[in-house]
């Protein structure tokens, strides 16, 4: 699974793949996929938006394509992220589906770009084994440099082509994410990801309540990028004929054909997340994406503390407070005080953030572009008590304002007392979920690991709280 030895695993050979009758155009036997450049779909989106859920869906749906996956993850996430592909890790018969390359030494848009190009080159030596490539970026990646590398890298030549950039959006949280200030005053990652999208997958629509609330979210996204196709989904299950092998960047298209890619940034500029001091990367890049690429740079259920492990139960503070709705939107029309309370400072009418903080360089080495964002890995060798764990999670996720930290995302593999299986924890903003994973096996070191990504985190306190759940 991991490519730690430098050997690229075989691409996925999907068993019993039958041409999709509903979408005969998706049948590789009737297309020129065997000889044409391999289409690469870049899947991006903010932390927790549903990228892995989408990749999982693509890997298990019937569409007629054989898929290779390149997965970029934070170093601390190694081994956790791959466990989030339950169909592959739980079912040995389908183990062949778990064919991907993990790039975990940084963020694709920074230090791993070369590694990505090398991985693609090696993959291309097995060209006959797959029809399409998916690249899942980290939740904080700027898709621009990655797309540019795919477009311009001489080594790759014409063997691969960027098919489309799919940005998965958490419909419940996106407006707050768009409003997050960047310390250098630049456009934040969530805005960059929307701006570059060919397709915006407006996901988690089940978590947006109230008449008009979803329309408001959609309007905020269209204010940033009105050229992207908008697809509403729950659990990231779109019509894949609209996602795979679209030919968005097919060079045979006339310039008019790609004119719909024009980015409308409404005064915002796409800054380089890699290097804010790079003026060529920070200049205003309004215009078609193809021009840019050819340019200078290349349920929320009630918290049930007594529930057994394995019973999936999402918990949210929102259940105990008014749900996000048209009546209580994180909206520019709200009084500034309310927006501040909800953590939506700086949102203007366009959905763009009015970032005002002092400029600070981003940190390439920890691949977190905004220096205020940190990641911490928590560990516990001894099994955790589920009730205590839930109480602790409730406190750190639901009392964020009083504790002074801001948690965007948590994911982990947990060893819970009394359960032979590992438990998978997922948290996005104040929502969390614990579901049963596969049995611990000899290859998986049996201990709890939890990655926390957020701002103003107190590592020692978090680790201490985690250990107290034993």
Ligand X SMILES: Nc1nc2c(ncn2[C@@H]2O[C@H](COP(=O)(O)OP(=O)(O)OP(=O)(O)O)[C@@H](O)[C@H]2O)c(=O)[nH]1
Burial 322-336, CB ≥16 within 10 A → b, else e = ebbeeebbbbbebee
Residue from 12, 40, 141, 207 touching ligand X (CB under 6 A): that is 207
Residue 47 touches ligand X, criterion: CB under 6 A: yes
Could you say whether residue 235 binds ligand X (CB under 6 A)? yes
Ordered alpha helix ranges (H), 233-348: 279-282, 289-293, 336-341
User: What string marks each residue from 157 to 176 as x (binds ligand X by CB under 6 A) or -?
Assistant: -----------x--------
Q: Which of 44, 104, 193, 203 binds ligand X (CB under 6 A)?
A: 203
CA–CA distance, 305 with 73 (Å, rounded to integer): 31
Tell me the residue number closest to ligand X, measured at CB: 139
Task: Specify whether the CB–CB gap between 317 and 397 falls below 8 A.
Answer: yes
Specify the stretch interacting with ligand X by CB under 6 A; choose among 88-96, 114-122, 191-199, 230-238: 230-238
Side-by-side strand order, sheet with 100-103 = 100-103, 67-72, 132-136, 38-45, 160-170, 199-203, 229-232
Q: Could you tell me the smallest distance in angstroms from the CB atom of residue 102 to ligand X? A: 12
Region of 21-29, 46-54, 127-135, 217-225 interacting with ligand X (CB under 6 A) = 46-54
Q: What span, in angstroms and rounded, lies between the C-alpha atoms of 269 and 283?
A: 7
What residues pair up with 384 in beta bridges, in sequence order? Answer: 416
CA 37 to chain centre: 25
In 222-311 the beta strands, taken as DSSP E runs, fall at 229-232
Instruction: Report which of 387, 390, 379 is spatially closest to residue 445, judged by C-alpha positions.
Output: 379
CB-nearer residue toward ligand X: 285 or 411: 411
Taking CB under 6 A as the rule, does residue 52 contact ligand X? Answer: yes
The residue among 351, 168, 179 whose CA lies nearest residue 265 is 351
> CA dihedral defined by 121, 122, 126, 129, rounded to 10 degrees?
-80
Pick the piece of the chain touching ligand X (CB under 6 A) from 47-55, 59-67, 127-135, 372-380: 47-55
Please give the size of the binding site for ligand X, defined by CB under 6 A.
23
49 binds ligand X (CB under 6 A): yes
Distance between CA atoms of residues 291 and 296, nearest Å: 10
Q: Based on CB atoms, which residue is closest to ligand X, 82 or 292? A: 82
DSSP per position, 297-314:
----BPP-TTPPTTS---
Quote the strand ranges of 97-189, DSSP E: 100-103, 132-136, 160-170
Q: Is 45 in the site for ligand X (CB under 6 A)?
A: yes
Residue 84 as a binder of ligand X (CB under 6 A): the answer is yes
**How far apart (Å, rounded) are the C-alpha atoms in residues 195 and 228?**
9
For position 397 contacting ligand X by CB under 6 A, the verdict is no
Whichever of 299 and 304 has its CB closer to ligand X, that residue is 299
Residue 132: helix, strand or coil by DSSP?
strand
The answer to whether residue 53 forms part of the interface with ligand X (CB under 6 A) is yes
Q: Is 409 among the residues that bind ligand X (CB under 6 A)?
A: yes
How far apart are CB 466 and ligand X at their closest, in Å?
18
Closer residue to ligand X (CB): 182 or 285: 182
For residue 235, the minimal CB distance to ligand X (Å) is 4
Among 28, 37, 50, 330, binds ligand X (CB under 6 A): 50
Minimum CB distance to ligand X smaller for 64 or for 139:
139
Q: Name which of residues 264 to 303 contact ligand X (CB under 6 A).
A: 299
Among residues 91, 114, 152, 234, the one that binds ligand X under rule CB under 6 A = 234
Q: Is residue 48 involved in binding ligand X (CB under 6 A)?
A: yes
For the chain, the C-alpha Rg in angstroms (whole number) is 21
Partnered with residue 202 across adjacent β-strands are 169, 232
Q: Could you list the residues that contact ligand X (CB under 6 A)? A: 45, 47-53, 84, 139, 168, 203-204, 206-207, 234-236, 299, 409, 426, 428, 433
């Amino acid at each position: 699974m991991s490519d730690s030895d430098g050997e690229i695993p075989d691409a996925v050979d999907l068993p019993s793949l039958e041409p999709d009758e509903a979408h005969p155009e998706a049948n590789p036997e009737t297309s020129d996929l065997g000889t044409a450049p391999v289409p690469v779909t870049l899947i991006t989106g903010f932390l927790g938006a549903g990228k892995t859920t989408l990749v999982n869906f693509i890997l298990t749906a019937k569409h007629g394509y054989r898929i290779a996956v390149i997965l970029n993850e934070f170093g601390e996430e190694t081994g956790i992220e791959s466990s989030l592909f339950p169909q592959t890790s739980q079912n040995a018969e389908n183990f062949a589906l778990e064919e991907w390359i993990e790039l975990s030494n940084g963020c694709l848009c920074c230090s791993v770009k070369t590694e990505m190009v090398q991985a693609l080159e090696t993959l291309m030596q097995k060209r006959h084994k797959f029809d399409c490539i998916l690249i899942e970026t980290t939740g904080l990646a700027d898709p621009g440099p990655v797309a540019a590398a795919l477009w311009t890298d001489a080594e790759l030549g014409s063997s691969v082509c960027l098919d489309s950039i799919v940005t998965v959006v958490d419909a419940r949280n996106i407006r707050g994410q768009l409003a997050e200030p960047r310390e250098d005053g630049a456009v934040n990652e969530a805005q960059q990801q929307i701006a570059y999208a060919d397709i915006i997958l407006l996901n988690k629509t089940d978590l947006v309540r109230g008449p008009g609330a979803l329309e408001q979210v959609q309007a905020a996204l269209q204010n940033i990028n009105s050229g992207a196709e908008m697809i509403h989904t729950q659990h990231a299950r779109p019509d894949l004929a609209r996602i795979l092998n679209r030919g968005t960047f097919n060079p045979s298209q006339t310039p008019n054909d790609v004119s719909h890619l024009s980015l409308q940034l409404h005064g915002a500029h796409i800054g380089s997340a890699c290097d804010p001091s790079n003026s060529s990367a920070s200049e205003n890049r309004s215009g078609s994406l193809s021009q840019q690429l050819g340019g200078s740079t290349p349920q929320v259920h009630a918290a049930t503390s007594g529930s057994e492990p394995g019973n999936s139960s999402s918990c949210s503070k929102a259940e105990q407070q008014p749900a996000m709705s048209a009546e209580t939107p994180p909206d520019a029309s709200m009084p500034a005080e309310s927006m501040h309370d909800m953590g939506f400072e700086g949102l203007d009418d366009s959905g763009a953030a009015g970032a005002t903080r002092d400029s600070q360089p981003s940190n390439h080495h920890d691949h977190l572009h905004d220096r205020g964002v940190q990641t911490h890995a928590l560990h516990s060798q001894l099994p955790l008590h589920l009730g205590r764990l839930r109480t602790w999670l409730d406190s750190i996720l639901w009392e964020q304002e009083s504790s002074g930290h801001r948690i965007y995302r948590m994911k982990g593999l947990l060893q819970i007392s009394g359960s032979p299986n590992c438990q998978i924890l997922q948290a996005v903003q104040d929502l969390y979920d614990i579901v049963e994973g596969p049995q611990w096996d000899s290859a998986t070191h049996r201990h709890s690991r939890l990655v926390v990504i957020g701002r103003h985190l107190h590592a020692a306190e978090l680790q201490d709280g985690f250990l107290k759940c034993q």
